[in-house]
């Protein structure tokens, strides 16, 4: 991600650390250097990082217990007086203290390691505060390596608060962490662009505390509270912190968005090229397609760069919408780049749409990593000379060597397969300092709460209906042992003139093993299905071969196509009516839904068969159940989110986008709208920005390198 910052400094600084962050910045070096390094491993650098290092759980050391009341296996705290000391010897390393409490009940304390300095302080008559568990051994009561502290007199106040237990790292003591957190809380000035009263009023909840109060509460809850209850975060303090985080996130996203408004983009007017294309389509656009096309056109006509996500379930017809937008640009003498994550998908787009584009006079080219160097050079030169209107391809288009004479629109298909930095690098492809318009497409529907939270600086268009005439895909779950029956079904399907995908899974993340499995499977199927043409396609196949196989499948010369997950996205062969997925339990939910979406595109009734192995994990069962029960991508996405959590779901981990640390979108969902509006108000309030805004963002985004950029 560092690359993004380097190539476009200061643009979009959604999360770039503002200069004013110093106010909450690095703490004075009150900590031991060795600890300092360990803190850094936990991402703890500035005071706010410590304040936001939340406890895993709490221990209750607020009470003193008499030995007589001790229950085996429960941690307790008591004050004990040393009666006798049995120091370690050369042959016996254990140090024993014989102690008694105020009632005269006795207990032996055993230590496996004592420092001479400790030993020197342990004298008969000395009082100790002891924390540990009592067990019953040969000598009566005993405690094994308890935590002890010297005490002047028994019975003085024990801890006033519950004791937090923090996520730690090797060599870092809880004590050091607690102290560092306490010190940080003592110094911290938490920026509050919206005060607690205003916040409570806006959210319509009872009075919320100030952030610092809420943080203190979470780090040291008062005695008498049930540690479990605090861990469940039902206190207003927890709500305050969650709301603060969501507010910081909204402020950050909306700032990025506001900054984009100061950028410029070429204005693209309607052209009759797009109209002519439409007139020639063999179908009518659905109402949903018309609507989103209208939204895109309105964006293109403005001099601000479009930043739009086009969402629609598998098969909802996103591509034609994008192409019509592309034709508007081409008609206006702009260039267009269409990016796909795999060669197969790029090839599909080419095969399907190039005839139409060529017929309209658009000059198109194909650019992927697999081309010969001379060919790539030729295409690059043609792009710079504006001899090409539309370039279609894969990551190769992103290379910095690829420059355009006048790029107006960049389209990214299956955008979740690209990193944030990759998507953003498209914006640097204009030479006059303005930005091209950016249209991203995704078939992974994003639930509203997530979209609002993570993508609120994107405009979203949704195609919410499928084209007419689609037949729903019937989904079946089948035990792997019933594979022979299934092969018979495949035979029938093929003999009746329909086509079959047979997908082999990822095996232990090893591509070569995958491949072997897929090859064996293809060989086996063609042996069993005598007289039926079986093909094989996988990621390692040379481009030309891939194209040949896909074309043969398209034309029906290949009836059964064995594939690795390369066909996961976007492949469109309407005659295919049966999708078999082997070891379906190894696929992700979104992947299964995508794969299933490859069939049911024509008029024949279609089926998706999920073969599953033995010993399924609970998560795997949940996934299979969800695809079995639901057809709707949004419903599937909701389940996926539940099973995987937002980070995995959005693919954010790899893209370096920061995740929420405390807030829970499900629980906080009712407040999202208000928080979003509040953020907008705060940003609109004064002409020069309130310094508390960048400070707050810096607190929550921490010292972590990952910055939210798009």
Choice between 206 and 468, CB closer to ligand ADP: 468
d(CA 322, CA 293): 8
d(CA 326, CA 343): 20
Residues near 455 by Cβ (< 8 Å), separated by ≥ 6?
Answer: 309, 446
Task: Report the residue count for the chain.
Answer: 710
b/e burial code for range 390-426 (CB count within 10 A of at least 16 → b): bbbbbbbbbeeebebbbbbbbbbbbbbbbbbbbbbbb
Least CB distance to Mg ion at residue 548 (A): 22
Question: What residues form DSSP beta bridges with 409?
Answer: 336, 437
Binding to ligand ADP (CB under 6 A): which residues in 451-510? 467
Least CB distance to ligand ADP at residue 286 (A): 5
658 binds, among Mg ion, ligand ADP, none (CB under 5 to 8 A by kind): none
Report how many residues bind ligand ADP under the rule CB under 6 A. 18
Pull the structure tokens for residue 370: 């697999």
d(CA 547, CA 549): 6
191 binds, among ligand ADP, Mg ion, none (CB under 5 to 8 A by kind): none
Among 48, 62, 311, 316, binds ligand ADP (CB under 6 A): 316
Q: Which stretch binds ligand ADP (CB under 6 A): 143-151, 309-317, 390-398, 649-657?
A: 309-317
Choice between 128 and 599, CB closer to ligand ADP: 599
* 694 touching Mg ion, by CB under 5 A: no
Choice between 266 and 570, CB closer to Mg ion: 570
Binding to ligand ADP (CB under 6 A): which residues in 571-590? 572
Whole-number Cα distances in Å, 229 to 218, 222, 315, 340, 663: 12, 12, 46, 49, 17
283 binds, among ligand ADP, Mg ion, none (CB under 5 to 8 A by kind): ligand ADP
Whole-number Cα distances in Å, 177 to 55, 58, 164, 238, 701: 10, 14, 10, 21, 20
* 505 touching Mg ion, by CB under 5 A: no
Choice between 15 and 600, CB closer to Mg ion: 600
Binding to Mg ion (CB under 5 A): which residues in 534-573? 570
* 314 touching ligand ADP, by CB under 6 A: yes
**312 and 437 Cβ atoms separated by less than 8 Å:** no
* 597 touching Mg ion, by CB under 5 A: no
Rg, C-alpha atoms of the chain: 32
Choice between 505 and 570, CB closer to Mg ion: 570
d(CA 449, CA 543): 40
**Phi-psi domain of 191 (left: phi exceeds 0; alpha: psi -120 through 50; beta: other):** beta
Report how many residues bind Mg ion under the rule CB under 5 A. 1
* 319 touching ligand ADP, by CB under 6 A: yes
Q: Which stretch binds ligand ADP (CB under 6 A): 198-206, 269-277, 279-287, 663-671?
A: 279-287
Q: Give helix then strand counts, H and E, for the chain.
A: 26, 21
Choice between 409 and 660, CB closer to Mg ion: 409
Choice between 536 and 599, CB closer to ligand ADP: 599
CA 27 to chain centre: 30
* 285 touching ligand ADP, by CB under 6 A: yes
* 95 touching ligand ADP, by CB under 6 A: no
**250 and 675 Cβ atoms separated by less than 8 Å:** yes
Choice between 570 and 694, CB closer to ligand ADP: 570
* 283 touching ligand ADP, by CB under 6 A: yes
Q: Which residues contact Mg ion (rule: CB under 5 A)? A: 570
Q: Which residues contact ligand ADP (rule: CB under 6 A)? A: 283-286, 289, 312, 314-320, 443, 467, 570, 572, 601
């Amino acid at each position: 991600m560092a690359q993004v910052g380097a190539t476009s400094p200061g643009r979009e600084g959604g999360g770039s650390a503002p200069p004013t962050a110093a106010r909450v910045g690095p703490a004075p070096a009150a900590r031991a250097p060795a600890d300092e390094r360990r803190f850094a491993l936990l991402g703890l650098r500035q005071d706010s990082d410590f304040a936001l290092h939340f406890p895993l759980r709490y221990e209750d050391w607020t009470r003193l217990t008499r030995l007589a009341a001790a229950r085996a296996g429960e941690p307790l705290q008591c004050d004990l007086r040393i009666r006798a000391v049995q120091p370690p010897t050369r042959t016996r390393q254990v140090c024993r203290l014989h102690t008694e409490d105020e009632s005269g009940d006795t207990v032996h304390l055993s230590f496996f390691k004592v420092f001479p300095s400790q030993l020197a302080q342990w004298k008969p008559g000395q009082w100790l505060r002891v924390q540990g568990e009592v067990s019953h051994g040969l000598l009566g009561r005993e405690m094994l390596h308890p935590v002890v502290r010297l005490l002047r007199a028994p019975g003085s106040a024990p801890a006033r608060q519950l004791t937090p237990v923090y996520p730690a790292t090797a060599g870092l003591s809880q004590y050091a962490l607690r102290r560092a957190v306490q010190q940080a809380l003592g110094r911290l000035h938490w920026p509050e662009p919206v005060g607690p009263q205003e916040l409570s009023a806006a959210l319509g909840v009872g009075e919320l505390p100030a952030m610092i109060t809420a943080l203190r509460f979470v780090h040291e809850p008062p005695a008498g509270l049930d540690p479990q209850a605090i861990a469940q975060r039902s206190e207003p303090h927890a709500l305050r912190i969650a709301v603060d985080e969501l507010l910081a996130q909204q402020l950050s996203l909306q700032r990025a968005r506001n900054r984009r408004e100061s950028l410029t983009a070429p204005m693209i007017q309607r052209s009759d090229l797009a109209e002519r294309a439409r007139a020639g389509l063999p179908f009518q656009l659905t109402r949903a397609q018309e609507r989103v096309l209208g939204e895109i056109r309105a964006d293109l006509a403005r001099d601000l760069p479009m930043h739009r996500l086009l969402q629609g379930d598998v098969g909802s017809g996103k591509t034609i919408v994008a192409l019509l937008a592309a034709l508007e640009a081409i008609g206006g003498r702009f260039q267009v780049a269409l990016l796909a994550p795999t060669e197969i998908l790029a090839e599909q787009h080419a095969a399907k749409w190039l005839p139409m584009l060529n017929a309209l006079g658009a000059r198109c080219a194909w650019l992927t990593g697999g081309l010969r160097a001379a060919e790539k050079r030729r295409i690059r030169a043609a792009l710079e000379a504006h001899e090409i209107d539309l370039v279609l391809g894969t990551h190769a288009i992103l290379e910095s060597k690829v420059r355009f004479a006048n790029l107006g629109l960049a389209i990214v298909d299956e955008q979740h397969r690209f990193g944030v930095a990759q998507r953003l690098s498209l914006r640097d492809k204009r030479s006059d300092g303005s930005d091209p318009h950016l249209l991203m497409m995704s078939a992974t529907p994003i639930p509203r709460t997530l979209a609002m939270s993570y993508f609120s600086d994107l405009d979203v268009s949704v195609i919410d209906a499928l084209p007419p005439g689609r037949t729903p895909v019937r989904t079946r779950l089948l035990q792997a042992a019933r594979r022979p029956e299934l092969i018979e079904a495949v035979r029938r399907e093929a003999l009746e003139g329909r086509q079959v995908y047979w997908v082999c899974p990822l095996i232990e993340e090893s591509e070569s093993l995958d491949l072997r499995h897929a090859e064996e499977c293809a060989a086996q199927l063609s042996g069993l299905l005598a007289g039926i043409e079986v093909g094989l396609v996988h990621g390692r196949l040379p481009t030309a071969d891939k194209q040949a196989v896909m074309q043969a499948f398209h034309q029906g010369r290949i009836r059964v196509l064995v594939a690795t997950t390369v066909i996961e996205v976007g492949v469109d062969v309407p005659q295919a009516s049966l999708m078999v997925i082997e070891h379906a339990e190894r696929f992700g939910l979104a992947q299964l839904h995508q794969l299933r979406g490859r069939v049911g595109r024509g008029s024949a009734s279609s089926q998706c068969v999920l073969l599953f192995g033995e010993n399924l994990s609970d998560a795997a069962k949940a996934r299979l159940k969800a695809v079995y029960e639901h057809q709707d991508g949004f419903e599937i996405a909701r389940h996926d989110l539940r099973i995987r959590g937002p980070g995995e779901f959005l693919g954010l981990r790899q893209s370096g986008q920061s995740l929420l640390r405390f807030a829970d979108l499900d629980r906080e969902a009712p407040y999202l709208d208000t928080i979003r509006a509040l953020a907008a108000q705060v940003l609109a309030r004064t002409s020069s920005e309130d310094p508390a805004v960048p400070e707050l963002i810096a607190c929550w985004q921490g010292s972590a390198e990952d910055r939210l950029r798009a």
